[in-house]
Amino acid sequence: MPETLVLLHGFGGTHRAWDPVLPELDHERYNPIVPDLRGHGTKAHVRPISFEGCVDDVLAAAPDSFVLCGYSMGGRIAQKVALAAPERVTRLVLVATSAGIPDPDARAARIAEDRALADEVEGMTVEQFVARWQAQPIFAGTPPEAARSWADDLARNDPAALAEVLRTIGGGAMEPFWDRVGELTMPVTIVVGARDEKFVGFARERYAPRIPHAAVHVIEGAGHGIPREAPAELAALIA
């Protein structure tokens, strides 16, 4: 019987962000559940937008035991799910993510940046939001075909809802929890793109020492957008 695999998208995405990965999975082995997170897609108007609410949604949608994979913001939520219900998560796959911004000054700066960006995004059309989000330096080098499908997914969102996501569960809003990742005793796989230098650093310098049993994989040629840039490689690592 196939094992349930829950896939959590990143900020600005929807469940359709996993479209490139799903055909690469072994469906005799996995039964994927691909929810929208609060503030995104079909859950754009679900409130409150909070980490606790997102965790509750994932646990309500999943069976008693499941494999959990989260990308970027979805990876932060996946870790919180695994810490909240470790007996239910049989394996954890973290893709281009972190456990928060550890430096207080850097976190304060990120909070200010997220709030300013939220104010900017809130008044945008969806087309303006797509252009603004894709223009960030972290996404430089995204292959054109991947960028096009990603733009289609970004456009499935409401900019006003995404502004609230930035304010409530954005990278700055989340209290860092590096002191707790050692509690993740289930098998853990950490996946980063070689061009995504900041997250390569998180994988090697922060996760690896704290979760000695974790397997760290760096996908050559990929940046931050692994599900759209390297779907076959990611599916193989999920397997």
State pLDDT tens for residues 44-84: 999 999 999 999 999 999 999 999 999 999 999 999 999 99
Q: What is the β-pairing status of strands 66-71 and 3-8? A: parallel
Per-residue pLDDT at 169: 97
Per-residue pLDDT at 1: 87
Per-residue pLDDT at 146: 94
| Domain housing 132 | 3-238
Per-residue pLDDT at 204: 97
CATH assignment of the domain containing 157? 3.40.50.1820
Segments in the chain below pLDDT 70: none
- The number of domains in the chain is 1
Among candidate residues 63, 62, 100, 61, the one with its CA nearest the CA of residue 80: 100
Taking a C-beta distance cutoff of 8 angstroms, is the pair 172, 113 a contact? yes
